[in-house]
């Protein structure tokens, strides 16, 4: 069964250009609920570790520099089929290839500076959420 959580990051380009609120509103309109959020300026070691899977790829150094260039906003999001639904809502990695109305089409500048991160599997969603948020910090939506 598909999991119900994914890790989003509103990347430094979108935070710096004042698009965090619009992106969050877009995600909430699409049925995602925020379980945890944190504005954070990543160190090079943290960004490098988060994107370790891309180490050695030609864009890796640029990606780490970009992700440490200013604060970003990691979000633990919840809805049914969270990973797949979120990837549909953000669109393709390159905004020129992203479908009309997707977050990257609307808000991204380029393939590198592309406004948002999203997990690509339930396994990676769990790992990436844990990278930023201990389980104890995920808000219990049932609590009042």
> Binding partner of residue 19 among ligand UDP, Mg ion, none, CB under 5 to 8 Å per kind?
none
Q: Considering the complex, state which of residue 51 and residue 139 has its C-beta at the smaller distance from Mg ion.
A: 51
What is the rounded CA–CA span in Å between residue 17 and residue 29? 21
Q: Please, what is the minimum distance in Å from the beta carbon of residue 142 to ligand UDP? A: 31
Q: Which of 34, 111, 126, 139 binds ligand UDP (CB under 6 A)?
A: 111
Q: Which residue among 12, 117, 129, 132 is the active-site one?
A: 117
- What values do phi and psi take at 42, rounded to 5? -70, 145
> Binding partner of residue 112 among ligand UDP, Mg ion, none, CB under 5 to 8 Å per kind?
ligand UDP
Q: Please, what is the minimum distance in Å from the beta carbon of residue 31 to Mg ion? A: 22
Instruction: Count CB atoms within 10 A of the CB of residue 20.
Output: 21
Exposed / middle / buried, residue 77 (Cβ in 10 Å: 0-12, 13-18, 19+): buried
Q: Which of 31, 38, 44, 59 binds ligand UDP (CB under 6 A)?
A: 59
Query: 114, 111, 109: which is closest to 90 by C-alpha?
Result: 114
CA angle 109-112-117, nearest 5°?
Answer: 95
Tell me, yes or no, if 54 is annotated catalytic. Answer: no
- Helix (DSSP H) and strand (DSSP E) numbers for the chain: 7, 4
Q: Please, what is the minimum distance in Å from the beta carbon of residue 40 to ligand UDP? A: 17
Is the Cβ–Cβ distance between 57 and 119 less than 8 Å? Answer: no
> Scanning residues 115 to 144, which ones bind ligand UDP (CB under 6 A)?
117, 120
Q: List interacting residues with ligand UDP (CB under 6 A).
A: 54, 59, 63, 93, 111-112, 114, 117, 120
Q: List interacting residues with Mg ion (CB under 5 A).
A: 120
Q: Cite the active site residues.
A: 117
């Amino acid at each position: 069964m598909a999991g119900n959580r994914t890790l989003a990051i509103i990347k430094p380009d979108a935070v710096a250009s004042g698009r965090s609120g619009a992106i969050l509103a877009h995600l909430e309109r699409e049925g995602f609920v925020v379980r945890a959020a944190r504005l954070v300026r990543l160190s090079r070691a943290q960004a490098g570790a988060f994107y370790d899977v891309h180490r050695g790829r030609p864009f890796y150094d640029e990606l780490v520099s970009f992700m440490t260039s200013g604060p970003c906003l990691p979000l633990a999001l919840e809805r049914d089929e969270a990973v797949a639904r979120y990837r549909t809502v953000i669109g393709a990695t390159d905004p020129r290839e992203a479908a009309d109305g997707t977050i990257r089409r609307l808000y991204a500048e380029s393939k590198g500076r592309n406004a948002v991160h999203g997990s690509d599997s339930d396994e990676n969603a769990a790992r990436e959420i844990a990278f930023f948020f201990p389980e104890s910090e995920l808000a219990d939506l049932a609590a009042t």
